[in-house]
DNA sequence: ATCATAAATGCGAATTATTCGCAATTAGAA
DNA sequence: TTCTAATTGCGAATAATTCGCATTTATGAT
């Protein structure tokens, strides 16, 4: 199957297809990394309203199309998530690397917690990348 | 060895021992769970200045005495961390459970990333606790 | 014990990210 | 095409956190 367009993705998730939504989702897909709301606005060429962008992001997150992370920073970052994954972030230069490493939350819930199931998890690693380790 | 007092802890980390610092650290130790800056101020009986509390928290975090988490919420939470651990949070009622489960970041860095070492990581689980699963 | 000095505090004002209220617009169903 | 609920745009409002600066305080040296 070929990759779905932003419009199709929105429709698949039962969302009205508006141009802001298409643009935001498209920008997120292009970015291929976590990006903050304001940076997203810049990427869109300033034509979109910031409140609308925030509302759009909330919607996309609620549908699971986009993953929201609150790093140590105080602003939220949003990433289009075609496939679940995590990041390793360099605390010196901000370089971000994707990692396939994950954890089996289902098994884990039984072994290590009293919850029957775990719906989601946040996992981020911090270190100094090889370039910054002189 | 018996448990160190807040004052001793501060001294051990090369920090000036002030009453706000002792109070904040003490409150965090008592709380035994992540707590936000303002809640901390309440716990301290309103006598401490919020800007000072924030500065104190930054300091404690920088020394590794306290662990800062930015959940999905927009406010940061701080927890005294005698021993590294993570949480399982119920998205219905907010119940928070500690879990011993962790990951071996050293081994991991070699296997799954290009970083030589990983200094820290954030790991939080979200689900619905048994009480909320009617 | 007193002093000197850098560090910490308190206060108010400033910033920053995010949300809200509401009138105007628009997507999609009928 | 028409109708209506959902979405947008704008500006103003919130909420969390930080900043500037004058004042106080902890601690090391005398
Ligand atoms: Mn990624
Ligand atoms: Mn804990
Ligand atoms: Zn995962
Ligand atoms: Zn861990």
Predicted local confidence at residue A126, as pLDDT: 86
For residues B75 and B90, membership in a common domain is answered with no
Domain that holds residue A62: 6-79
| C-alpha distance from residue A118 to each of A1, A113, B87, B89 (Å) | 30, 9, 12, 9
Answer yes or no: do B58 and B110 share one domain. Answer: no
Cα separation, A47 vs A67, whole angstroms: 24
User: Is there a single domain that holds both residue B58 and residue B75?
Assistant: yes
| Protein residue minimizing CA–C1' distance to C6 | B16
Residues from chain B contacting residue A114 (CB–CB below 8 Å): 97, 129-130
Considering the domain architecture, whether residues A108 and A49 belong to the same structural domain is answered as no
Do B67 and B93 reside in the same domain of the chain? no
Q: For residues A103 and A66, state if they share a domain.
A: no
Last residue of a domain, one of B59, B79, B99: B79
Cα–Cα distance measured from residue A51 to residue B55, given in angstroms and rounded to the nearest whole number: 31
Shared domain check, B109 and B53:
no
B98-124: per-residue pLDDT in tens?
A: 888 888 777 777 777 788 888 888 888
Rounded-to-integer distance, Cα B88 and Cα B95, Å: 8
Does at least one atom of strand D sit less than 7 Å from the CB of A46? no
Name the closest residue (CA) to the C1' of nucleotide C8: B18
Task: Tell whether A46 and A103 lie within a shared domain.
Answer: no
Q: What is the pLDDT of residues B20-59, one digit of tens each?
A: 999 999 999 999 989 999 999 999 986 789 999 999 999 9
B17 CA → C3 C1’, Å: 20
Kindly state whether residues B93 and B74 are assigned to the same domain: no
- Which nucleotide minimizes the distance between its C1' and the CA of A77? C17
B13 domain-assigned: yes
Q: Cα(B132) to centroid of ligand 3, in Å?
A: 24
* pLDDT tens profile A30-43: 999 899 999 999 99
Both A60 and A107 in one domain: the answer is no
């Amino acid at each position: 199957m070929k990759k779905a367009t932003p419009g199709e993705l929105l429709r698949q998730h039962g969302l009205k297809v508006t141009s802001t939504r298409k643009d935001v989702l498209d920008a997120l897909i292009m970015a291929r990394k976590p990006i903050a709301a304001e940076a997203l606005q810049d990427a869109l060429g300033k034509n979109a309203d910031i409140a609308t962008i925030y509302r759009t992001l909330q919607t996309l997150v609620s549908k699971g199309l986009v993953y929201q992370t609150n790093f140590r920073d105080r602003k939220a970052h949003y990433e289009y998530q075609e496939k679940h994954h995590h990041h390793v972030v360099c605390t010196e230069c901000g370089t971000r690397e994707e990692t396939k490493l994950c954890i089996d939350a289902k098994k884990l819930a039984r072994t290590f917690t009293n919850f029957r199931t775990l719906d989601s998890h946040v996992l981020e690693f911090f270190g100094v990348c090889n370039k910054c380790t002189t």
